[in-house]
Amino acid sequence: MHAVGFDLDLTLADTRAGIAAVYEALAARLGVPIDVETVVSRLGPPLEQELAHWLPPEDIPAAADLYRELYAGIAVPATTVMPGAHEAIDAVRGAGGGVIVVTGKNTRDAWRTVRALGLNVDEVAGSVFGAGKGTALASFGAAAYVGDHVADIAAARAGGSVSVTVATGPYTAGELREHGADVVLADLTEFGGWFRTWRADAAGV
């Protein structure tokens, strides 16, 4: 049985429009200019890390609270599912494997996103990034971790999982390969084919 972990933003969920709208609202409320296009071009790292590009350190905690207050009402309804996401999850479940979402997004909003998109997952572990995702992957027993960010490769390594990447986020297939991903897919529509081959290889068929 092969349990698989998936990243959320730009792996399973296209959150760009939703996150852009939250940052627009945040910029208006705080009266601070934020280049939203730049923000959505580098999604993946924790919210506080992104806010640090635009705000002095002392203003970050309150801005992060406001962002999270706005997120459910603005971003979740504007989020769409990435091509192949449902089919990728079905491929794992069809083989009897569990599915966990491991994401930098806080767990509450991650669950809201998962439910809004109808993603059929067993568990969600939120507010983790890079190697910090490894603990969640290991305790779930995820044999592979699928993500779009180079930090997701480090996450897979830390969790003892195979690093599967999709070039649907900030990095090209070539860049993901250079950063040491075990598997590089153009997008999740290619996941099922890879997964079946991987399982067959592991079974020695």
CB closer to Mg ion out of 172 and 197: 172
Q: How far apart are CA 118 and CA 134, in angstroms?
A: 25
Q: How far apart are CA 139 and CA 158, in angstroms?
A: 12
Q: How far apart are CA 164 and CA 84, in angstroms?
A: 15
Q: How far is CA 45 from the centre of its chain?
A: 10
CB closer to Mg ion out of 92 and 168: 168
Within 10 Å of residue 111's Cβ, how many Cβ atoms? 16
Give me the residue whose beta carbon is nearest to Mg ion: 9
CB closer to Mg ion out of 97 and 169: 169
Minimum CB–partner distance for residue 149 and Mg ion (Å): 5
Minimum CB–partner distance for residue 173 and Mg ion (Å): 15
Minimum CB–partner distance for residue 33 and Mg ion (Å): 25
CB closer to Mg ion out of 9 and 50: 9
Point out which residues bind Mg ion (CB under 5 A).
7, 9-10, 44, 148-149
Residue with tokens 């999740």: 188
Minimum CB–partner distance for residue 86 and Mg ion (Å): 17
Minimum CB–partner distance for residue 58 and Mg ion (Å): 28
CB closer to Mg ion out of 16 and 149: 149
Q: Are 148 and 169 in contact (CB under 8 A)?
A: yes
- E strands in 61-201: 80-81, 99-102, 123-125, 142-147, 162-166, 183-185
The neighbouring-strand residues paired with 102 are 125
